[in-house]
Each structure stands twice: as structure tokens, then as C-alpha cells.
A and B are shown apart, each in its own frame.
Chain A
Amino acid sequence: MNKIIKYVILDILKNRIVIGYALLLLCMSLSVFNMETDTSKGLLSLLNVILIIVPLVSIIFSTIYIYNASEFIELLVSQPLKRKNIWLSLVAGLGLSLSLAFIGGCVLPILIYNGNGTGIMIASMGIILTVIFVAIAALSAVYTRDKAKGIGVSILLWLFFTLLYDGLVMFLLFQFMDYPVEKGLVAVSMLNPVDLSRIMILLKLDISALMGVTSAVFKSFFGQSWGMILSISVMLLWVIVPLSLSVKKFKIKNL
């Protein structure tokens, strides 16, 4: 299993797109930190990068990579190896290499320029989001046989999590605006990893506008240690659930 992970990582790190992705992140974070005099403002600008670009690149790249590796996967399946191990090591290799690119491009500048609690929170959320979207990509790639369709599904999923879900939440909030929905909002935010990480970062940034009743509920929930543990475990669930579903499908998939 380790051998396959090593091979996948080496293969991906040599890939021009991943190198370009790391360089893009590096350029963005360096320019953001050098242009803004206030480093916490720089972190806010990076927030958009992490919430939009990181999921996009992770999900699209992983989907395409899995489709392109179909011959390699067939070769591995013909060997005396467990299918579960093959699939998990492939996904692990993807997650690790994309995280490495993110660490090189974003985490290091953040730690250099603003290595406080907020910076660490943004960095760790970026890594978790990378892994989550790799797992979602694995799920969409294993369920659709056609490459174009699979990539389409991935793009749709990205669009759903970054844009459509928020629109839906806003629609529901206006439908139920006469009811006390604050507590329900915590549950709703758990259903979208992008929203969850955004809220956790914003609460760390101590945005004063986020101080209404809603954020009081959020703050009392996420501010406590058990709320923090719960939200981290929900993030991990967002990795585990798609991954185990995809493993289940891959085991019985007719390649």
C-alpha cells in the first residue's frame, strides 16, 4: 500500500498542473501579504482563495487524475492486491500531494506572516478542505463511468457547495424568518464543509458584524471545546463518508 501511495505522490508532484497550482497559491499569498499593511486583512483576502480555489482545484484535478489512471488501476487490480487498498492508496496519494502543494503555496506564507491562531485555523481548514474535496472527487469518479460526465458531476458538486447551497440557505432563511432558526443554522452549516470552515475561520477572526443573535449562538457553540471537537469530527466525517461509499462501490465495480 505504501508503495502505491509513494508512486502516486511522485507521479502527481511531477505533474505540471500541481506545480502550477502550488506556484499560483504562493504568488497569491505572497502578494496579498505584501500588499496589505494589516496582515489580518491579508488573511481575509486569502479566505476567498481557500474557500473557492482550493476546493475547485482539488475536486477537478482529482477527478481527471482518477480517470487518467484507469489503465494503471486496471493493472493494479490484476495483481494480488486488495481492491480496497488500491483505492485508498490512490486517494491518499492524491490528498497528500495536493495538501503538500497547499502547504508549500499557502501554509508557509501564512505561518511566516501571520502565524497566530487565526492563521493556523485558516491553514488547517485549507488542508481539510483539500482532503474533503479529493474524497468527493473519488466518489463522483467511481460512480460515473463516462469521463466527461464525471468531470461535469464534479464541477456541479463544487458549484453546489460554494454557491448553490448558500443560495438555498438564504431562500430557506427568508421562508422561515418568523421562526427562531438560529440553532437550526448550526446544523445547516454542518451540511456543507465550505460553510463550516468559513464560519469557523470568521469566528476566529472576530468579525464584529457577526455579533447578532445568530453569531451569539454560533459563538457559544463553536467557541466551546466540545463544539470545536464536534465540528472537527463533522469535517472528518465529510472525508470518511464519501470515501467509504466510494470504496464500497469500487470493490464491486466492473472495471
Chain B
Amino acid sequence: MKYLILITCCLLAFHSLSAKVTTIKGENGISLQQVINDAAAGDSIILEGGRFQIASTITISKPLFLIGKNSPVIDGGNKYEIMVISSDFVIIQGLHFLNSGKSGYEDIAALRILNSGNILIRDNYFENCFFGIYGQHAHNTTIANNRFKANGFDEISSANGIHCWKSDHMLILNNRISGHRDGIYFEFVTESTIRGNISTNNVRYGLHFMFSHNNWYLGNSFTDNGAGVAVMYSKGVHMHNNLFARNWGNAAYGILMKDISDSRVENNIFSQNTASIYMEGSNRITIRHNQFKNNGWAVKIQASCTDNIINENNFSGNTFDIATNGSLQLNNFTGNYWDKYEGYDLDRDGKGDIPFRPVSIFSMIVERNPATLMLFRSFMVGLMDKAEKVFPGITPEALKDDTPFIRPLAFNPPAL
């Protein structure tokens, strides 16, 4: 928000000094590029509806307000990158970007931010574009209230909704993204906030980032994506109040965390995912106050993860609560609520008196040999689970919750 105010103040300052307002309507024969070239730095161009068919990429290389009224269409004709911003202090508002080019070897975007910052992009509609917004060395930029809709059907013919590369201090607010390859994609993006976005029905991931440290993800909703959310090789990731739901399928995850460290995952809801959290090589992550409901696996934690703290979460209705692939266990699982807990609480302190072992032998077997899922819920598997609960042999001895809660914990529901 502070960037937004800063930018607005700066631009207002320009405006009151010398800026001019040009109003045009999209008709045949009007070249938007010509209008932009004619404008001085700090001018406003108001597009009054209509349609601008572009003949080449529009470049904005000076501070400018580009404001659409009645959603003027800027049509890339399935050929061109529609707009490139290579100047600081630009506002793009209320435009309808349609049909950018598509390419197998070039990253064609509807709107590219090139080596610049202090830009505000809001209330736009990106329809049937390859990349939506592509931030390349962008900084201090706000992307807010945009809608992205594409019709991607495979990973090759589609690209990402919001794509940022080597950017910092980005603020990505309240966007809705669907039908792209990855809803939001970050590579080398730091110190950014991603809040209130809805990323749904994308071909691959709702959110995907790599090497992106110290970012905050607040109140987003990642649902019905082909493979859920994948986050890799990052540290200082904060995920709070998000919703991860219905990420369903063979290799779909609520969140896949690979080599993530020193991060916090709190107050999120994970519902109906095949595996709601999958952790590999991840260290020192705090997972607290989350709700895991009706997932296939609530947490799949590989033996390569250490010093993670998983406490005060609610696990209910999951087929398997915890699965792991080794016998060494260096994580902390104390003080959660498990609906499969069958213990008692004699001293009435709300915590069970006997430890709970969330890993069932069948989940260990399935981890080793996935084909055995065919025997799920058979009589024999039930007997094996019961026997293992009494005398743990194969399941990791140390993976247990010594003080499981008897009743579900009450949290404030995430504000979305």
C-alpha cells in the first residue's frame, strides 16, 4: 500500500505542474504508439473504450498515466507482445489486453515491465494472453485487482499469469488468475507481498516460486490447480491465512516444499488435496494453527527434513495424517489435534495421556510401493494397522505426538 501512495503522490506532483490530459477513442487508424510518443513525460492518456489493433509492440519509455474507461481493448492479434514498460512512474489502469502472441521459444507477454519500478498496474483484464504480466528486473511495483483468463490446456502452449524474474519489493494484490500455466510464478524475487489473490484452474501450479526469499503470502486462495502449489529453494517464506483446496490428482499437492528453510506456514486451510503438504529437504519450518481436512495425505514429510515444528494443527478426515519414508525422525509433532486419536484424558487438562502415532503401517507400505494402494481398506490392512499400533515395529518410533489435544483447536478463520 505504501508504494501505491508513494507512486500516486509522485504522479500527482507531476500532474499539477505541467501535465496534459489526452482523450482518445479506439477506432481504426488510431495508433496508440503515436499518441504515446506525442505525450510528454507525466501526461495522462485516457482511452475512452473502443478497440486498438496494434501493429507492433507498444513501448512506454517515459512516466505516463494510461487509463482506460469502459475497458478499451488492446488487441495483440495473436502476434505481438502487447506492451512494454521501460520507464519508472507509470500507471496502467482499466485496460483490456486481448490475444497476445504465443511462442514456443520466446517469452511473449501481454505487459512486460523491463528494468523499471514504481509502476502501478491495476483493474486490467488480460484475456487469452500467453504471459500476463512479466516483471523483468522490476522493483517497487504494485499489481492489483487484475483479472487473468486464458485457455491453456497443456504446459507447452500456455504460460504464467503473473511472472516475475529478478524483481524485488513487488506488491501483488487481489488478482484473479485462471487458465494459465502457473498462476503466479517467481524466480529470484525478494521482499515481496502477495495478498488476497485467487489462483484457480491453472494448468500446472497455482503458485510457483524458486530462489525467492523473504516473501509474504497472505490470504490467497489456491484451488483446483493441476498440481497445486510448488515452492522450492527459498528461505524466509511466510504463508498465512491462505486456502489450499481441491488440488487433486496423481502428482498434485496443496504445497510441495522442496529445500525451503526458516519459514512459517500458519493459519492456513488445507482441504481435499491429494497431499496437502509434501516436504523434501526442508528445514526449520514452523507449521502451526492450520486445518487439514479431508486430504489424502495431510503431511508427507520425507526423512530429509529436519527441525520442523508441526504443532497446534487440526487433522480431521484425512486418509493418512502423516507419511514418511525413513525411520529417522528429527521433527517435532507435539500438541496437535488428531481425529484418529483413541486415547483418554484422565487429568482433564485437554491433552491425551498416551502418545499418538500418526504414521500408520499401511502408509509406510504405500510409500515404499504405491501399487499396494489397491489393498486400501481391506480387512488385512486394518489388522496390520491395529497390530502395529500396539507394537510399533516398522513405523518410526520417535514420530509421535506426546500431548495430542482431545478436542479440535479453535482458530480464527482466515480472512480472505
- Report A's interface with B, CB cutoff 8 A: 38, 41, 44, 47-48, 51-52, 162-163, 166-167, 169-170, 173-174, 177, 181-182, 185, 188-189, 195, 198-199, 202, 207-216, 218
- Judge whether A166 and B375 touch: CB under 8 Å: yes
Q: A167-B380, A207-B296 are in contact. Are A212 and B375 (CB under 8 A)?
A: no
Check: B297 CB closer than 8 A to any chain A CB.
yes
- Report B's interface with A, CB cutoff 8 A: 248-250, 252, 272-274, 294-297, 317, 319-320, 365-366, 368-383
User: Which residues on the B side are within 8 Å of A44 (C-beta)?
Assistant: 377
User: Which residues on the A side are within 8 Å of B379 (C-beta)?
Assistant: 48, 51-52, 162-163, 166
User: Which residues on the B side are within 8 Å of A38 (C-beta)?
Assistant: 317
User: Which residues on the A side are within 8 Å of B250 (C-beta)?
Assistant: 211-213, 216
- Judge whether A170 and B380 touch: CB under 8 Å: yes
- Judge whether B296 and A211 touch: CB under 8 Å: yes
List 9 extra interface pairs beyond A173-B372, A212-B371, A214-B370, CB under 8 A.
A41-B317, A166-B381, A167-B380, A170-B365, A173-B369, A199-B374, A202-B377, A207-B296, A209-B376
User: Which residues on the A side are within 8 Å of B366 (C-beta)?
Assistant: 209, 212
- Judge whether A214 and B272 touch: CB under 8 Å: no
B368 to chain A, nearest CB (A): 8
A192 to chain B, nearest CB (A): 10
B224 to chain A, nearest CB (A): 13
> Which single member of A163, A166, A173 contacts B371 (CB below 8 Å)?
A173
- Judge whether A166 and B380 touch: CB under 8 Å: yes
- Judge whether A177 and B371 touch: CB under 8 Å: yes
Q: A166-B375, A210-B376 are in contact. Are A174 and B369 (CB under 8 A)?
A: yes
- Judge whether B374 and A169 touch: CB under 8 Å: yes
- Judge whether A177 and B380 touch: CB under 8 Å: no
> Which single member of A52, A166, A181, A210 contacts B373 (CB below 8 Å)?
A210
User: Which residues on the B side are within 8 Å of A209 (C-beta)?
Assistant: 274, 296-297, 319-320, 366, 373, 376
- Judge whether B374 and A214 touch: CB under 8 Å: yes
User: Which residues on the B side are within 8 Å of A41 (C-beta)?
Assistant: 317
> Which single member of A177, A208, A213 contacts B272 (CB below 8 Å)?
A208
User: In the complex, A162 Cα to B319 Cα: how many Å?
Assistant: 21
- Judge whether B274 and A214 touch: CB under 8 Å: no
B292 to chain A, nearest CB (A): 12
A190 to chain B, nearest CB (A): 12
User: Which residues on the B side are within 8 Å of A182 (C-beta)?
Assistant: 371
User: Which residues on the B side are within 8 Å of A188 (C-beta)?
Assistant: 374
User: In the complex, A181 Cα to B252 Cα: how many Å?
Assistant: 22
User: In the complex, A36 Cα to B117 Cα: how many Å?
Assistant: 56
User: In the complex, A169 Cα to B377 Cα: how many Å?
Assistant: 14
A221 to chain B, nearest CB (A): 12
User: Which residues on the B side are within 8 Å of A215 (C-beta)?
Assistant: 373
